[in-house]
């Protein structure tokens, strides 16, 4: 992770205006400790709110929640006449987008075309892509790549031309990349541009808790959030949820710790319609080494020629699909899972091997420097030995149902990126279409006008309400939350992981529903439910930030788990990223979307061109 991070309030050395002083983090491999470069960068205070400031604006024209690629690009594309708040529960650039290695797909080569990109996307989507959305994605891709280049994203080049590589299930070399840290390059560049915009205020370490709906019309008019030790309410003419996915609901995931499904959970509780939540993409090749995070080994490695082999050195993936290692991700993940089920003593902890040695050494050093560094840190020399890998939850195809303009069924509420379900991914996302979706659909918010913004009904500010609890009761609550946070991902991984069936799903659903009741009975949960809109809250204990985040994220993860489990039980077939052992085949009657609102599930037809 690189970029500028706030240290303190200072003044411009050449004047009296207050400024934010920031340290610059130098690039380090994922999982390493950041080092600091000497010197300070200064940003004028109006552009970048920091933790040192007590005052929080009570109103924006647009609030964007989440600062990955989708949130950053959306904020940049919104009209500069609008006052934009960009809220992130961590720091800018700490997101799943920052971890994206492979690249971003676009048909810009002479032998490629948007129509071929459309065909590949629809084929990977296993019959559930909305064709209109896919056409829009592929046709807008070249223009969006030009926009990123113009903003300063330094994609790799061959001479003067942008370098393009091949990834699984693509019929052409069409994936642009910046070595093996494309997501980092994109988010760092976008962050730099955001901090230059006087109409955008970045509020870090602010945790969104709920949507604020206008009681008469049901329009979204803002959010409640936890910031600087208190709960506050912020009005907005429009709210854009760009909080990423929910990979932390699974015990094995390539997602960062911030990926707790916050946007999907708070939208569901407010009555938003969600779509296709059962479809989770499990990346086939996550580093599997004792003590190491599930570091993603990019699909581009296999695209460049690496082999998947078992303990005997055999390329077993061809037993499951003619394309072998280059089959769609869900196929390769199930191939590894099935092979380990048949051959390993303990399949839960077993792994196969990803052998990079068929790739020329110089190409490995040039194309995958970060993978080389991370593997070296864990004692693996990729030039002389294969990498131990196994599948891990990686990407959530489902999300908040949106149209091509990112609008949800709740007026004034929009969703972008992995948080949204635009219909482009269907049952299985094509590699490197996720960053593209963030950019293409984020650009759509440029069409937002003042007429689209919710007109507020002014309500008087209420007195601050204090949450009080004795030390022993507070400690008991936190112990319960910690236990829930540890048990939940294991349960979901075992019951709704790569292979699912009704018996385990039913047990898991009942367990999660019981845990949801336990969570609702906690003192803090009861207190939050009693709040009136626009009622601020203060707290009387010292470890507020850490404990409130644990409470909020645990509640969101419980809701996300419930939604995934119920959706997986509802769809009685196998398709794309959803595989049922008791219904192993696709069923034409299920070539439909799964929709859910509150506790009602139903089917919806896919959109044809």
User: Could you count the other beta carbons within 10 Å of the beta carbon of residue 593?
Assistant: 22
Q: What is the CA radius of gyration of the chain?
A: 23
CA–CA separation, 214 vs 216, rounded Å?
A: 6
> What is the DSSP code string of 517-583?
HHHHTSHHHHHHHTPPTT--EEE-STTHHHHHHHHHHHHHHHHHHHHHHHHHHH--S-BTTB-BSSS
Q: How far is CA 124 from the centre of its chain?
A: 20
- Of the candidates 294, 329, 334, 500, the residue annotated as catalytic is 329
- Rounded distance between C-alpha atoms, residue 600 and residue 563, angstroms: 11
CA atoms in the 13 A half-sphere facing the CB of 105:
29
- Block residue for tokens 């600087």: 228
Its sign, for the CA torsion 128, 579, 553, 508, is positive
Of 509, 516, 486, 511, the closest CA to residue 568 belongs to: 509
Residues with Cβ < 8 Å from 136, sequence gap 6 or more? 404, 440
Half-sphere exposure of 533 (CA within 13 A, CB side): 16
Please compute, for residue 172, the number of CA atoms within 13 A of its CA located in the half-sphere on the CB side. Answer: 21
DSSP state of 26: P
DSSP-derived 3-state class of residue 288: coil
Asked if residue 261 lies in contact with residue 548, where contact means CB atoms within 8 angstroms, the answer is no
Of 336, 282, 286, nearest in space to 308 by CA: 336
Pairing relationship of beta strands 48-49 and 200-204 according to DSSP bridges: parallel
The residues, ordered by sequence, that sit 6+ positions from 518 with a Cβ below 8 Å of its Cβ are: 480, 484
The backbone region for 432, taken as left when phi is positive above 0, alpha when psi lies in -120 to 50, beta otherwise, is: left
Q: What are phi and psi of 599, to 5 degrees?
A: -115, 25
Q: How many CA atoms lie within 13 A of 153 on its CB side?
A: 26
| Cα–Cα distance list, 16 to 5, 19, 47, 59, 195 (Å) | 22, 9, 17, 28, 20
CB atoms within 10 A of CB 194: 23
Residue 55: both structure tokens together: 């005052």
Tell me the backbone φ, ψ of residue 74, rounded to 5 degrees. Answer: -60, -45
Q: Distances from the Cα of 207 to the Cαs of 37, 357, 546, in angstroms?
A: 29, 44, 11
Known catalytic residue at 329: yes
How many other CB atoms are found less than 10 A from the CB of residue 337? 20
Q: How many helices (H) and strands (E) does the chain have?
A: 15, 26
* CA–CA separation, 438 and 275 (whole Å): 18
Query: Which residues carry out catalysis?
Result: 329
């Amino acid at each position: 992770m690189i970029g500028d991070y706030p240290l303190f309030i200072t003044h411009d050395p050449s004047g009296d205006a207050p400024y934010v002083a920031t340290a610059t983090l130098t690039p380090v491999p994922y999982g390493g400790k950041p080092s600091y470069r000497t010197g300070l960068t200064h940003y004028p205070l109006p552009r970048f709110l920091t933790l040192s400031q007590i005052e929080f604006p009570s109103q924006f024209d647009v609030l964007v929640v989440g600062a990955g690629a989708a949130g950053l690009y959306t904020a940049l594309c919104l009209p500069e006449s609008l006052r934009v708040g960009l809220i992130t529960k961590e720091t800018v650039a700490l997101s799943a987008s920052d971890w994206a290695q492979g690249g971003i797909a676009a048909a810009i080569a002479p032998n490629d075309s948007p129509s071929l990109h459309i065909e590949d996307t629809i084929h990977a989507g296993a019959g559930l892509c909305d064709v209109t959305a896919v056409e829009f994605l592929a046709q807008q891709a070249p223009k969006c790549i030009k926009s990123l280049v113009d903003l300063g994203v330094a994609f790799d080049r061959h001479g003067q031309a942008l370098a393009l590589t091949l990834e699984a299930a693509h019929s052409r070399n069409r994936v642009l990349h910046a070595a093996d840290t494309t997501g980092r390059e994109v988010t760092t560049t976008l962050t730099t541009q955001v901090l230059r915009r006087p109409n955008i205020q970045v509020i870090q370490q602010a945790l969104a808790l709920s949507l604020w709906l206008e009681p008469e019309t049901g329009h979204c008019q803002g959010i409640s959030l936890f910031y600087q030790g208190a709960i506050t309410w912020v009005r907005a003419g429009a709210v854009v949820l760009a909080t990423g996915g929910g990979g932390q609901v699974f015990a094995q995931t390539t997602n960062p710790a911030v990926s707790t499904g916050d946007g999907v959970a708070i939208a569901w509780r407010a009555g938003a319609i969600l779509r296709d939540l059962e479809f989770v993409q499990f990346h086939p090749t996550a580093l599997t080494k004792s003590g190491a995070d599930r570091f993603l080994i990019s699909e581009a490695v296999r695209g460049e020629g690496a082999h998947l082999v078992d303990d005997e050195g055999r390329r077993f993936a061809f037993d499951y699909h003619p394309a072998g290692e280059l089959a769609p991700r869900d196929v390769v993940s199930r191939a590894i899972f099935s092979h380990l089920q048949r051959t390993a003593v303990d399949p839960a902890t077993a792994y196969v091997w990803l052998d990079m040695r068929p790739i020329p050494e110089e190409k490995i050093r040039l194309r995958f420097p970060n993978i080389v560094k991370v593997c070296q840190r864990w004692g693996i020399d990729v030039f002389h030995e294969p990498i131990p890998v196994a599948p891990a939850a990686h990407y959530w195809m489902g999300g908040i149902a949106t149209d091509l303009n990112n609008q949800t069924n709740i007026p004034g509420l929009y969703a972008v990126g992995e948080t949204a379900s635009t219909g482009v991914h269907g049952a299985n996302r094509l590699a490197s279409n996720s960053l593209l979706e963030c950019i293409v659909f984020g650009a759509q918010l440029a069409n937002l006008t003042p007429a689209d913004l919710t007109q507020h009904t002014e309500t008087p500010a209420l007195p601050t309400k204090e949450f009080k609890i004795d030390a022993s009761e507070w400690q008991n609550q936190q112990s319960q939350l910690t236990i829930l946070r540890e048990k939940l991902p294991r349960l979901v991984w075992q019951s709704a992981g790569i292979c699912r069936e009704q018996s385990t799903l039913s047990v898991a659903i009942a367990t999660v529903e019981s845990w949801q009741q336990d969570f609702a009975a906690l003192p803090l949960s009861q207190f939050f439910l009693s709040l009136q809109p626009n009622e601020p809250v203060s707290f009387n204990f010292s470890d507020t930030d850490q404990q409130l985040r644990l409470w909020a994220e645990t509640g969101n993860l419980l809701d996300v788990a419930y939604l995934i489990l119920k959706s997986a039980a509802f769809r009685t077939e196998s398709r794309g990223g959803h595989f049922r052992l008791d219904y192993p085949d696709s069923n034409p009657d299920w070539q439909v979307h799964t929709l859910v609102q509150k506790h009602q599930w139903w089917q919806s037809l896919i959109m044809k061109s």
